[in-house]
Amino acid sequence: MIALKTFNYKTLNDLRLTTSMVEKLSQIYELKGKTAYISIKSKDILDKLLAVAKIESTDSSNRIEGIATSDVRLKQLMDQKTMPKNRSEEEISGYRDVLTTIHENYQPYIKITPNNILALHKELFNFTASTWGGEFKNIDNAIITTFADGHRETRFTPPPAYLTPKLIEELCNAYNNSLQENYFPPLIIAAAFMLDFVSIHPFRDGNGRMSRLLMLLELHQLGFDVGKYISLERLIEKTKAQYYDTLLKSSGKQWSENKNDYLYFIDYFLSIVLQAYRELNSRIDFTNDTEINPESLILTKLSNSLKPLSRRELMGLIPQYGETTIKHALATLRKKHKIKLIGRGRASKYKIND
């Protein structure tokens, strides 16, 4: 007999916040307040950060799932200057559109409900020939890892397909009720929802991407809009091994029996949000230096970096200048032999010329 998962968001299986988690929450709220004050004076900078974050979020969230295209094609797709030419680009275009929908309509229209989740999933697959976009899975699935030597292992077996609609409805109810009752801080509830959503694995395809899109939607609605300006998906991609490890530790074989430990994934989630706020505040702190020319800023960023930086990374670090200005400044610095280009294509980065 299959044990029926229940979502007790009053206790989260007797979750006890650690000192580290409380400290992370405190720092997030502090930086959130600072960012809110700065944003009044920095709309132009935030608009540029938003444009960069959209590209990074779309790119990284898809790359986590093995979906990618070239930088040139990615930019063209994000600017809607071309149509997708293969399955990967179709899925990238769908993610782009859902991301835009969330950014522009998160309040008051998109509540966390089963119908809205289905609508967003349908939009995610709008460009594909798939027939399951906007439909819960009709066959059972499993979360499988493929290793370098080719062998595959089942990491987690989600609930069967016939239970999915009921579980998603109960999860949405638990999430919304918990926010109203203030059982836990909102960020804790958002992290728990993300874990439980992935563990249900409600779709035949797109579960990971949908979980990250819903994460952004929840954060927006809760007043933590850092994901608009700093790509949380990029930060997750950079720590992908830890992301999957904490998901597994917090779900595992005891998830269906309501004995799983939410702590591991929630702690990871808070670390990602905190890192994003630190990065946002760091980037905005430089916006008063608009009188500094872009070449000097590029040299400063490269000198302070422990690794070479791509043009996209430099654009994020120097939001007061646009892409064309950064591109021209990089060309000028190369002509002066002050920086060196290493790698090609997507892997191309810049470093100080020793």
- Percent with pLDDT over 70 in the chain: 95
Q: What is the pLDDT, as a whole number, of residue 115?
A: 97
Task: At 107, list the tokens.
Answer: 């309040």
Cα→Cα distances 292→217, 227, 288, 299, Å = 36, 28, 9, 11
- Per-residue model confidence as pLDDT tens digits over 38-74: 655 677 788 888 999 999 999 999 999 999 999 899 9
Q: Which helix (H) or strand (E) holds 117?
A: helix 114-124
> Counting beta carbons within 10 angstroms of the beta carbon of residue 50, is it exposed (0 to 12), middle (13 to 18) or buried (19 or more)?
middle
Greater model confidence, 56 or 353: 56
Torsion angle of the four alpha carbons 34, 301, 268, 185, in this order, in degrees rounded to the nearest 10: 10
The answer to whether 180 and 148 are in contact (CB under 8 A) is: no
Q: What is the pLDDT, as a whole number, of residue 36?
A: 72
Q: Is 337 left (phi over 0), alpha (psi -120 to 50) or beta?
A: left
Q: Which helix (H) or strand (E) holds 45?
A: helix 43-64
Q: What is the pLDDT, as a whole number, of residue 27?
A: 95
Q: What is the pLDDT, as a whole number, of residue 284?
A: 78
Q: What is the pLDDT, as a whole number, of residue 169?
A: 97
Query: Do you find a cis peptide bond into 165, omega within 30 degrees of 0?
Result: no
Coarse DSSP helix, strand, coil percentages of the chain, rounded to the nearest 5 percent: 60, 5, 35
Q: Which helix (H) or strand (E) holds 126?
A: none
Alpha carbon 214 to its chain centroid, in Å, reads 9
Residue whose C-alpha is closest to residue 200's, from 173, 166, 240, 231: 166
Q: What is the pLDDT, as a whole number, of residue 170?
A: 97
Give me the chain's average pLDDT, please: 90
Distance CA 267, CA 24 (A): 9
- Per-residue model confidence as pLDDT tens digits over 145-198: 766 677 777 878 899 999 999 999 999 999 999 999 988 999 999 999 999 999
Q: Which residues pair with 342 in a beta bridge?
A: 349
When mean pLDDT is compared over 253-262, 315-324, 340-349, the highest value belongs to: 253-262
Q: Which helix (H) or strand (E) holds 165?
A: helix 164-181
Q: What is the pLDDT, as a whole number, of residue 343?
A: 86
- Per-residue model confidence as pLDDT tens digits over 239-296: 999 999 999 999 988 899 999 999 999 999 999 999 999 999 887 765 454 557 888 8
Distance CA 20, CA 60 (A): 28
pTM: 0.83
Domains and CATH numbers, the chain: 19-285 (1.10.3290.10), 294-352 (1.10.10.10)
